[in-house]
Structure 1
Amino acid sequence: MKLFVPGRLCLFGEHTDWAGHYRTMNADIKPGAAIVTGIEQGIYAEVEKSSIFELYSSADEIKDIWQDFSCRMDEIELKRIAKSGSFFCYCAGVASYMLEWYKVGGVRIRITDMTLPMKSGLSSSAAICVLVARAFNQLYNLNLNTLGEMNIAYLGELRTSSRCGRLDQACAFGVKPNLMTFDGDEIEVRSLNVKKPLHWVFADLCAEKDTIKILSDLNKAYPFPNTDAEKAEHEALGEQNLEIVDRAIKYMATGDAESLGKLMTEAEALFDEKVAPMSTALWSPKLHAILKDPNIQPLVWGGKGVGSHGDGSVQFLARDEESQQKVTDYLNENGMKAYTLTLKPVHTVRRAIVPVAGFGTRLYPATRVIKKDFFPVPCADGMVRPVILILLEELINSGIEEICVILGSEEERQQYADFFERPLPDDHLKKLNPEAQEYENHILDIGKRLHYVYQREKRGFGHAVYQAAQFAGNEPVLLLLGDTLYRSDSNKPCALQMIEDYEHYNRLMVSIHPIPLADVSRYGILHGVWEDKENTVLNVTSMVEKPKASYAEEYLAVRNKKGEKEYYSVFGQYILTPEVFAQLHEDIMQKEIDGDHVTEIELTSALEAVRKRSGMVGVRLRGRMFDMGNPNALSNTIQTFTEP
């Protein structure tokens, strides 16, 4: 199994994680808040089960400092190594926690690439802790969500001599910006989006920094301040930080890079005024010289320190991509190690795919003369619409701009041309009331958004979806089943709910809903761990196509708030990332190489492959699904689709 864990860059809110934790002792302390993002640099590894705890490396970047490590899975021995301060103390700390609380076996971890600079304020120690926690979690199916992995990484690191804050393990959430809030023992994480690309540069100053002294000195002001200087530290890490973080979120959401950069400079000035005087380790001569460098100033909107501050690392918000590269080159030329980070907006999903290539065997003989996607359905407004029109209106009402319909042949295209492109004859149009005449124009407008591709070989659902790969391009696309209708329980269409959730999580996404255990053998069933308290977002850990009920009951159940077992199937809507189409292409090419032109290409297997590499989110939508694929379902839909 391959894993990747990035480092992390704190954009705003350093030190407020541990400061916010002191609210357990002093309620007057304000909650901590920080904006943190994973970075593109990190740790790549291959992991597998073992009888002992083993770490190896083939990464060139750390070959000069690395020595292979192995240890028995013995709690006392692992705790001893954690306290030793040795190179592998962090890993041993996490392993000891896993053994103590989860009674796991061993793991073998081989680091294949290490692009993350060490001891530079980018949480290399936290990243290795998360890597170890994630390896145990996935290899032993512990069903920990991302926050659970983060907590264990933190608790494991606490078993060493390090006194890190909760901020460091933010690398568990991947390469995306997040707002983290720290209220005593409570931590909340919310994904953030940016309106426009933001071009960051961060650099290891290659100077000396004493993190232990910094943290020791600053913690002396907590939980109760006794002097004016300590009160000033509380203000800076409390209410003033909350105000800065709130403004930063607004600037990111509106794409105001100039104001965001100036805010970075303002935040650094506040830190220098009220926090830095509390520790001589925060005087940071090299950091401040770089921040004021006249060669850099014209290229950036602003800059500040990183992590615990001191002369560890620096970060700048460059004015544009060209300036970003110039700053990076300049810092590297002057003996530092600089890296780029571009935070990009998550694409609002603009395109959708609707596969309707099937013959509709279960609805024969009606499908001899009319495709099932044109079957009529009475609607709440009194109109009778064909299935496909209801689906297309769902998409357009959700902001979708272009739609690709996957047909079985060019002959099927004619029915779409007749309905969506050919105006009604005048004698028919005159018989309609004014409202219906206006609706006729609406139908023709929908037709202008449609594209068509064809699945000429019936080789499975995945093969059908792949026909739209060129249409999808390099963007996420929404996929709706062509024989399923949806009705929202709120004023937001189900498709819009999906799109908004995708903008938060930026991962392969499927809609899910609970089904009875007796029905699991008819569907693909997903298993995972809830990411939120409301049990609406599932971090999917496995996906099994049409399992037996006995298997699902033992391995695929998801507990609800009452502790009861539930079983989740796909609700019929997906947001597919470009990686899914790449996987489908690989699956199809492999069949060609094998000379296999018979076995179907399934979407489920491609989704599972992508899930293993990049993760998958299941989202419970607020709405109902109506199947149109068989006579009983069709009859039920016609009778109930208009019901509240």
Structure 2
Amino acid sequence: MNLFVPGRLCLFGEHSDWAGKYRTMNADIVPGMAIVTGVEQGIEATAEASERFEVTCSAPELTELWHDFSCDMDSAKLKEIARSGNFFAYCAGVASYMMEWYNVGGVKINITSMTLPMKSGLSSSAAICVLVARAFNLLYNLNLNTMGEMNIAYVGELRTSSRCGRLDQACAFGVKPVLMTFDGEEMDVQPLNVRKDLYWVFADLCAEKDTIRILADLNKGYPFASDEKERNEHWALGEGNRELINRAVEYIANGDAEKLGMLMREAQNTFDEKIAPLCPKELTAPKLHKILSDEYIQTLTWGGKGVGSQGDGSIQFLAKDKVCQDRLISYLTEIGLRPYKLTIKAVHSVRKAIIPVAGFGTRLYPATRCLKKDFFPIVDKDGLVKPVIMILLEELINSGIEEICLVLGSEEERKQYKEFFETRLSSEHFNKLNAAAQEYENKILNIGKRLRYVYQKEKLGFGHAVYQCNEFVNGDPVILLLGDTLYHSFSNKPCALQLIEAYEKYNKPMISIHDIPLAVVSHYGVVSGIWENKEETLLNMTTFCEKPKAAFAEEHLGVKTKDGITKYFSVFGQYILTSEVFEQLGENIRNYNGTGEVELTTALEQVRNKVGMIGVRLNGKMYDMGNVNAFRKTIAEY
């Protein structure tokens, strides 16, 4: 398998990870908070199972410095290497932990590319530790979630001479910013919404600093402050940092780059005033401050600050735009620094939706001879009798969707939608309606303006139907709802909005899920995986199986909950599809040999293997309209 783990850059909140850990000894310490992101530079590798633990290299960046490493899967030998101090110490530290706590064989890792600079404040050591933990996890199906990989990487690195912080392993979450909270031994990680592209530049100052000295001096003030300087440090890493981080999260979510840049300058000033006096020899940092005050750089950036432990190690800037980012890279290179580009991409909000309604509705015959099943009437929660499709469209509109594409079986079917959504009632009928109903009539017509139509003229499967919307989607993320399913939210957020908000944090394909009895799994698509959060609402999917037998599901597809119960999860009927899904559907259609159908499930499983996929446990209930019994239940309960 192919693996990539980036380096990490701490945007705000450096030092707060170890400071927050001291809450185990002093409850008055404010939990630490930091905003950390993976960078574009990292380590690429291939991994395969092996009898031994081996690390080889074919990366052109390292060929002159590299010698291959190989060791028996022996805990004592691996621990000895971990204490040796060389680059492989980090790999061996993680491998020794895996050997002790998991029943695993060896792993052979070949590093194919190393674009991540070492000893530049970007945690190359944490990246290699996460990469090794991930290789063991995936090759031996250990079912560790991202936090599990992070924790093993952290413990593995602690087995070396390194004294890494907890925020270093944030690289496990990839190239996106996350909010990390450190409360004693507890750590929480939350992905952040990014409203607009942010153009970062960070650079190695090509100077010297003593990180061990910095950490030693700053740790003297913990867990209890003994003088004014140490009280200032507690405030700066605690209450002051928390207030600053909360503003940073807000500015990132709003896409306010100018305010975010000003906040970087404020953070640096606070550090210089409140923390640097504890280690003046290292934190006076003349080169850092000379570059920060460069007048030309200030014309290109909204702000800048130090990186990591601070000192004359590395520097970071938020450029005003892409042109300024490129100019800044060129200028920093000219003055002898080693700069790197980081563009934190905005997560595009989901503004488009798809509803396939091309089926005849055989199981609801003969009513479907005269009325498409998505026009069957249902009493909605507001007491109005509405067609199913109207309830679905209102859910989407209330979730911020601007355009909806309906997949029909033929142009002939369009007549029913045109009559309902585009044709005004006659004056005779309209005038009989009360004021509220007349207003609702206008709502129907306004929704009609958002509708687009495509046609599945060949019935080659559900995946083929969805792919007819490829031109409509145009590479944007899109939410897919089923045309014969209704969704009831148990909160004030529609189910569709819950799913969209999850996507905006994780930026991955999403499938809504709900638990079902083991006895009925053979009727559904069943997913399995590892919980990504404590609330057990986000499932990092490892398997997607269409209509498995109960015995197979019991052995392979159960998901343990925090109360020890094994549950089985099926698709809830809402999906967030990304460009990768449509590319895969297109490939599957091109390779279609006329046997079977082009299934969406197949494409989703293929995409999950490539980029990952999240199952989202929504706070709501689904109502199926696809057969007589389900329709009867929906009428009675919805």
Report the TM range for the smaller structure's normalisation.
over 0.9
Q: In 2, distance between residues paired with 1:619 and 1:487?
A: 15
CA contact (8 A) 2:204 2:339 kept: yes
CA contact (8 A) 1:391 1:485 kept: yes
- Report the equivalent of 1:263: 263
TM-score by length of 1: 0.96
1:357-372 equivalences in 2 (<5 Å): 357-372=358-373
- Report the equivalent of 1:640: 637
- Report the equivalent of 1:136: 136
> What is the CA deviation profile of residues 43-73 of structure 1, one whole-angstrom value per residue up to 9, with x for unaligned ones?
2222222221122222212222222222111
Three-state SS of the structure 2 residue aligned to 1:196 is coil
- Report the equivalent of 1:330: 331
- Distance change >3 Å, CA 435–CA 229, structure 1 → 2: closer
Answering whether residue 604 of structure 2 is matched by residue 607 of structure 1, we say: yes
Please identify, of 8-17 and 303-312, the stretch whose mean Cα deviation from structure 2 is larger: 303-312
Three-state SS of the structure 1 residue aligned to 2:118 is coil
> What is the CA deviation profile of residues 406-443 of structure 1, one whole-angstrom value per residue up to 9, with x for unaligned ones?
11111211221122112222333333333323222221
> What is the CA deviation profile of residues 321-340 of structure 1, one whole-angstrom value per residue up to 9, with x for unaligned ones?
22111111111222322122
1:55-94 equivalences in 2 (<5 Å): 55-94=55-94
CA contact (8 A) 1:459 1:598 kept: no
> What is the CA deviation profile of residues 431-481 of structure 1, one whole-angstrom value per residue up to 9, with x for unaligned ones?
333332322222111111000111111111111111111111121111001
Answering whether residue 626 of structure 2 is matched by residue 625 of structure 1, we say: no
Runs of 5+ unmatched residues, structure 2: none
The one-letter code of the counterpart of 2:312 is D
- Report the equivalent of 1:234: 234
Q: In 1, distance between residues paired with 2:421 and 2:311?
A: 65
> 1:258 Cα deviation (Å)?
2.3
Three-state SS of the structure 2 residue aligned to 1:125 is helix
Q: In 1, distance between residues paired with 2:221 and 2:530?
A: 39
Q: In 2, distance between residues paired with 1:23 and 1:269?
A: 26
Q: In 1, distance between residues paired with 2:422 and 2:231?
A: 71
Q: In 1, distance between residues paired with 2:183 and 2:343?
A: 30
1:60-459 equivalences in 2 (<5 Å): 60-279=60-279, 280-459=281-460
Q: In 1, distance between residues paired with 2:103 and 2:201?
A: 43
Q: In 1, distance between residues paired with 2:395 and 2:231?
A: 55
CA contact (8 A) 1:525 1:545 kept: yes
Answering whether residue 535 of structure 2 is matched by residue 534 of structure 1, we say: yes
> 1:605 Cα deviation (Å)?
1.9
CA contact (8 A) 1:517 1:553 kept: yes
The one-letter code of the counterpart of 1:635 is R
Answering whether residue 513 of structure 2 is matched by residue 512 of structure 1, we say: yes
Q: In 2, distance between residues paired with 1:111 and 1:459?
A: 42
The one-letter code of the counterpart of 2:599 is E
RMSD between aligned residues:
1.7
Q: In 2, distance between residues paired with 1:247 and 1:370?
A: 53
Three-state SS of the structure 1 residue aligned to 2:529 is strand
Three-state SS of the structure 2 residue aligned to 1:428 is helix
TM-score by length of 2: 0.96
- Report the equivalent of 1:549: 550
- Distance change >3 Å, CA 390–CA 339, structure 1 → 2: same
- Report the equivalent of 1:28: 28
Please identify, of 111-120 and 431-440, the stretch whose mean Cα deviation from structure 2 is larger: 431-440
- Report the equivalent of 2:45: 45
Q: In 1, distance between residues paired with 2:361 and 2:488?
A: 23
Q: In 1, distance between residues paired with 2:455 and 2:53?
A: 52
Please identify, of 447-456 and 251-260, the stretch whose mean Cα deviation from structure 2 is larger: 251-260
Q: In 2, distance between residues paired with 1:60 and 1:493?
A: 51
Please identify, of 397-406 and 420-429, the stretch whose mean Cα deviation from structure 2 is larger: 420-429
> What is the CA deviation profile of residues 129-168 of structure 1, one whole-angstrom value per residue up to 9, with x for unaligned ones?
1111111111212121111111111000000000001010
> 1:558 Cα deviation (Å)?
0.7
Three-state SS of the structure 2 residue aligned to 1:275 is helix
CA contact (8 A) 1:3 1:613 kept: no
Three-state SS of the structure 2 residue aligned to 1:295 is helix
The one-letter code of the counterpart of 1:619 is V
The one-letter code of the counterpart of 2:350 is V
Identity of aligned residues (%): 68
Q: In 2, distance between residues paired with 1:424 and 1:307?
A: 66
Q: In 1, distance between residues paired with 2:148 and 2:214?
A: 28
The one-letter code of the counterpart of 2:601 is T
- Report the equivalent of 1:493: 494
The one-letter code of the counterpart of 1:246 is N
> What is the CA deviation profile of residues 381-403 of structure 1, one whole-angstrom value per residue up to 9, with x for unaligned ones?
33322111111111111111100
> 1:565 Cα deviation (Å)?
0.7
Post-superposition, which runs of at least 4 consecutive aligned residues in structure 1 deviate over 6 A? none
Three-state SS of the structure 2 residue aligned to 1:503 is helix
Q: In 2, distance between residues paired with 1:603 and 1:40?
A: 31
The one-letter code of the counterpart of 1:378 is V
> 1:75 Cα deviation (Å)?
0.6
Q: In 2, distance between residues paired with 1:363 and 1:449?
A: 28
CA contact (8 A) 1:244 1:263 kept: yes
Please identify, of 382-391 and 168-177, the stretch whose mean Cα deviation from structure 2 is larger: 382-391
Three-state SS of the structure 2 residue aligned to 1:34 is strand
Three-state SS of the structure 2 residue aligned to 1:430 is helix
> 1:490 Cα deviation (Å)?
1.6
Three-state SS of the structure 2 residue aligned to 1:618 is strand
Q: In 1, distance between residues paired with 2:48 and 2:413?
A: 50
> 1:638 Cα deviation (Å)?
1.4
Q: In 2, distance between residues paired with 1:262 and 1:640?
A: 54
- Distance change >3 Å, CA 613–CA 335, structure 1 → 2: farther
> 1:342 Cα deviation (Å)?
2.4
> 1:537 Cα deviation (Å)?
1.5
> 1:564 Cα deviation (Å)?
0.9
The one-letter code of the counterpart of 2:619 is R
> What is the CA deviation profile of residues 166-186 of structure 1, one whole-angstrom value per residue up to 9, with x for unaligned ones?
010011112211111111101
Three-state SS of the structure 2 residue aligned to 1:84 is coil
The one-letter code of the counterpart of 1:615 is G
Three-state SS of the structure 1 residue aligned to 2:340 is strand
Please identify, of 249-258 and 296-305, the stretch whose mean Cα deviation from structure 2 is larger: 249-258
> 1:293 Cα deviation (Å)?
1.8
> What is the CA deviation profile of residues 520-568 of structure 1, one whole-angstrom value per residue up to 9, with x for unaligned ones?
1111111111122222111112211111111111111111232011000
Q: In 1, distance between residues paired with 2:195 and 2:516?
A: 38
Three-state SS of the structure 2 residue aligned to 1:60 is coil
> 1:266 Cα deviation (Å)?
2.0
CA contact (8 A) 1:494 1:622 kept: yes
The one-letter code of the counterpart of 2:617 is R
Runs of 5+ unmatched residues, structure 1: none
Q: In 2, distance between residues paired with 1:588 and 1:205?
A: 52
> What is the CA deviation profile of residues 79-133 of structure 1, one whole-angstrom value per residue up to 9, with x for unaligned ones?
1111111121101111111111112111122222222221111111101111111
- Distance change >3 Å, CA 382–CA 222, structure 1 → 2: closer
